[in-house]
Chains A and B, each alone.
Chain A
Amino acid sequence: MRPVGLADLQQIAPCAWEIPRNFRNDMRVAARLYASREMVEHLLQERALEQLVNTATLPGVQEPALAMPDVHQGYGFPIGGVVATRAADGVISPGGVGYDINCGVRLLASGATYPQVREHLAGLATQIQRDVPTGIGHGGRIALDDRAMDEVLNTGLNWAMREGLASEADASSIEERGCFPGASADAVPDRARKRGRDQLGTLGSGNHFLEVQRVARIHDRSRAEAFGLFEDQVTVLVHTGSRGLGHQTCTEYVRLMDRVMADYGITLADRELACAPFVSPEGQAYFRAMGAAANFAWCNRQLITHAVRGAWQRVLGRDEDLGVVYDVSHNIAKLEEHGGVACVVHRKGATRAFGPGSEGLPERYWSSGQPVFVPGSMGTASYVLAGTGVAMAETFGSTCHGAGRVLSRHKAKQTIDYNRLRQDLHDMGIVVRAASAKGLLEEAPAAYKDVEQVVDVMAATGVTATVARLVPIAIVKG
């Protein structure tokens, strides 16, 4: 397959590049990359841009296929990409969502400031680590019977509300109110249910983490106020997804699509792009199953929220609730209207970033735009952004999702010194509760792109506004 070179990229704005449709004859639309020149030069050394071009070949793809500045090489689709396909005659692809369906980020805001929490921080981190199961395959505190599992999958956050684990205020601060339209437990393979049966309320391993943070800087005062954020405030960020249930759901549907693709006359550049027409029985079954897995993920983040609230009250004795600022999904496909066309917007390692006045936003964010959370690598900063009208016009209402990996997990473990890393985090005043050394090494800051450069590119393009910078004060991970 022809590699993408610098000469193939047309710079259309200071931080935007286009690969024209005639770059490869199987492209249906142009591809666009948001990045600085330095990022482009780095990207040319890996295969992320060829993968971006591959996504521009999918049946029904809408102009353009997109890559955000945190893009990196994935399997099939690049991580950090947005592909919108026409609902009427385009495809849906499980690989365009990823194995961790509705992996996402939730931000909780407290009323406390850092000086009020500082002396309790070690105790708080220990309590959270005790109350939120982390690590590989770790079973949670609750095992769902078939009926409860059906309710979680079919009704998402409504199940958590019925169980007294979520409030109306929580539901109103989550995409789709935590209940995916059209989700159906019947479409979820039995094996996925089994793999996830004891994993609700667990953080998992890999790049998933829970962080207690301090608001280090407010960049946009009026939007920060709308989001309820202020300087020196303590926040909690939860990053996890649908665990084994989502992984198995994706596995089974990639297999199904791989089998039926030929019947629909679809040929692809990479088998992992396996897809089926959105309106086909297979496409619809996947969409219903994906929605159910998304519901599982929202309930997962809700149970973790519930546990964090308990730990907070127990350790700090503060009679307040940690309110949900918002909950964003960065591995999902959504049915949305863009430019008057109903589209299936695949966001794989990308975040919805709806601008002011968009349908589906909570009333209190109508004038500010949607809050977006971009976690940096462990020990660096995370950012709160806001969606804009530019996002609605140019990126199918989407933005970046994280820092983007530059070192493989393997290389990170080989090249980074564990004791030095721990010492560095300690010197930065960060309390660390990690289940394993390898978990810490794999996610070391040196393994990732600089998150500031990523959000700066998105701000330069006008797609998202930078609202606040959050720095970690305690990290809990698997």
Chain B
Amino acid sequence: MTDGLHRATRDKRDQPADGFEFLDHPGDLKLRAWGDDLEGLFASAAEGMMAFLFGSGVVDLEPFGTETIEIAAGDREALLVDWLSELLYRAMSEYHAYTEFQMHELTETKLKATAAAAVAQAVEDIKAVTHHELSIRACEDRWEATVVFDT
């Protein structure tokens, strides 16, 4: 993949508690994200999407401010799709990259978070976050999710 994505893709052997990696998918982009808890998982998935859109250097961007994001959805899966869709919409319509995700409230159907916003030009495009093959599951000691993006 692009250099940026190579760096962003973490090595599975020494995976940190929260993280993400990109899996091969014939037509589109598939992301696996994980975290110690659901909050960590949601933050990792967002970090993964931002690393894809803006390259791994996204974490070094200088934020100009913080934005609050609130989502309500029918269930946990829809909440994850809506969370990522909200960030994608803001990124593509405002030309902002987002980092430093802080989850202040997270239930099965509701989410309140803040993220640092920086002005940035995307290096990759994502059309949408899909429900296809979406799963959120509790593994032995962590939470994992896979999300397919239409690129």
Q: With an 8 A cutoff between CB atoms, is A25 at the interface?
A: no
Residue on A nearest B148 in the bound complex, by CB: A75
Point out the residues of chain A lying under 8 angstroms from B133, CB to CB: 75
Number of interface residues of B (CB under 8 A): 35
B130:A272 contact, CB within 8 angstroms: yes
- Given A255-B78, A438-B2, the answer on whether A409 and B151 have CB atoms closer than 8 Å is yes
Classify the interface of chain B: helix, strand, loop or mixed.
Answer: loop
Number of interface residues of A (CB under 8 A): 41
A244→B29 CA distance, assembly (Å): 18
B128:A137 contact, CB within 8 angstroms: no
- Given A195-B92, A405-B27, A410-B22, the answer on whether A247 and B1 have CB atoms closer than 8 Å is no
Say how far B24's CB is from chain A's closest CB, in angstroms.
5
- Given A136-B122, A195-B89, A408-B24, the answer on whether A247 and B2 have CB atoms closer than 8 Å is no
A271:B26 contact, CB within 8 angstroms: no
Question: Considering the complex, which residues of chain B in the window 92-151 have a beta carbon less than 8 Å from any beta carbon of chain A?
Answer: 92-93, 95, 121-125, 127-134, 148, 150-151
A372→B71 CA distance, assembly (Å): 43
Q: With an 8 A cutoff between CB atoms, is B25 at the interface?
A: yes
Q: With an 8 A cutoff between CB atoms, is A214 at the interface?
A: no
Question: Considering the complex, which residues of chain A in the window 201-221 have a beta carbon less than 8 Å from any beta carbon of chain B?
Answer: 204-206
Say how far A90's CB is from chain B's closest CB, in angstroms.
21
Of B128, B132, B134, the residue contacting A251 (CB under 8 A) is: B128
B130:A258 contact, CB within 8 angstroms: no
Say how far A168's CB is from chain B's closest CB, in angstroms.
33
Of A191, A406, A438, the residue contacting B93 (CB under 8 A) is: A191
Point out the residues of chain B lying under 8 angstroms from A411, CB to CB: 24
Q: Interface centre among B81, B85, B93, B148, by most A CB within 10 Å?
A: B93
Of A74, A137, A270, the residue contacting B95 (CB under 8 A) is: A137
B1:A204 contact, CB within 8 angstroms: no
Of B2, B85, B93, B127, the residue contacting A100 (CB under 8 A) is: B127
Of A136, A206, A247, the residue contacting B128 (CB under 8 A) is: A247
Of B85, B125, B131, the residue contacting A137 (CB under 8 A) is: B125
Of B24, B25, B81, B125, the residue contacting A136 (CB under 8 A) is: B125
A206:B125 contact, CB within 8 angstroms: yes
Point out the residues of chain A lying under 8 angstroms from B85, CB to CB: 251, 255
Residue on A nearest B122 in the bound complex, by CB: A136
B92:A75 contact, CB within 8 angstroms: no
Point out the residues of chain A lying under 8 angstroms from B22, CB to CB: 410
Residue on B nearest A196 in the bound complex, by CB: B93
Point out the residues of chain A lying under 8 angstroms from B123, CB to CB: 136, 436
B93:A258 contact, CB within 8 angstroms: no
Q: With an 8 A cutoff between CB atoms, is A79 at the interface?
A: yes
B132:A76 contact, CB within 8 angstroms: yes
Point out the residues of chain B lying under 8 angstroms from A244, CB to CB: 92-93
Q: With an 8 A cutoff between CB atoms, is B74 at the interface?
A: yes
A258→B121 CA distance, assembly (Å): 32
A108→B28 CA distance, assembly (Å): 30
Q: With an 8 A cutoff between CB atoms, is A451 at the interface?
A: no
Q: With an 8 A cutoff between CB atoms, is B18 at the interface?
A: no
Q: Interface centre among A247, A255, A406, A410, by most B CB within 10 Å?
A: A410
B130:A76 contact, CB within 8 angstroms: yes
A408:B125 contact, CB within 8 angstroms: no
Point out the residues of chain B lying under 8 angstroms from A410, CB to CB: 1, 22, 24-25, 29
A136→B92 CA distance, assembly (Å): 9
- Given A255-B78, A255-B82, the answer on whether A204 and B125 have CB atoms closer than 8 Å is yes
**Contact flags A407-427 to B (C-beta < 8 A → 1, else 0):** 011110110000000000000
Question: Considering the complex, which residues of chain A in the window 378-415 have a beta carbon less than 8 Å from any beta carbon of chain B?
Answer: 405-406, 408-411, 413-414
Say how far B49's CB is from chain A's closest CB, in angstroms.
14
Say how far B7's CB is from chain A's closest CB, in angstroms.
14
Question: Considering the complex, which residues of chain B in the window 20-55 have a beta carbon less than 8 Å from any beta carbon of chain A?
Answer: 22, 24-29
Of A137, A258, A408, the residue contacting B25 (CB under 8 A) is: A408
Point out the residues of chain B lying under 8 angstroms from A406, CB to CB: 26
- Given A195-B93, A244-B92, the answer on whether A258 and B78 have CB atoms closer than 8 Å is yes
Say how far A43's CB is from chain B's closest CB, in angstroms.
11
Point out the residues of chain A lying under 8 angstroms from B130, CB to CB: 75-76, 254, 272
Point out the residues of chain B lying under 8 angstroms from A195, CB to CB: 89, 92-93
Point out the residues of chain A lying under 8 angstroms from B134, CB to CB: 271
List the 10 closest A-B pairs by CB distance, nearest first.
A75-B132, A271-B131, A75-B130, A272-B132, A99-B127, A247-B127, A99-B128, A136-B125, A195-B93, A272-B131
Given contacts A76-B131, A206-B151, A244-B93, 6 further A-B contacts (CB under 8 A): A76-B132, A99-B128, A136-B122, A255-B85, A258-B74, A272-B132
A interface residue numbers (CB < 8 A to B): 46, 72-76, 79, 98-100, 136-137, 191, 194-195, 204-206, 244, 247-248, 250-251, 254-255, 258-259, 270-272, 274, 405-406, 408-411, 413-414, 436, 438
B interface residue numbers (CB < 8 A to A): 1-2, 22, 24-29, 74, 77-78, 81-82, 85, 89, 92-93, 95, 121-125, 127-134, 148, 150-151
14 residue pairs bridging A and B, Cβ less than 8 Å apart? A73-B27, A75-B150, A76-B131, A194-B93, A204-B125, A251-B85, A251-B129, A255-B81, A271-B132, A271-B134, A408-B26, A408-B28, A413-B1, A413-B2
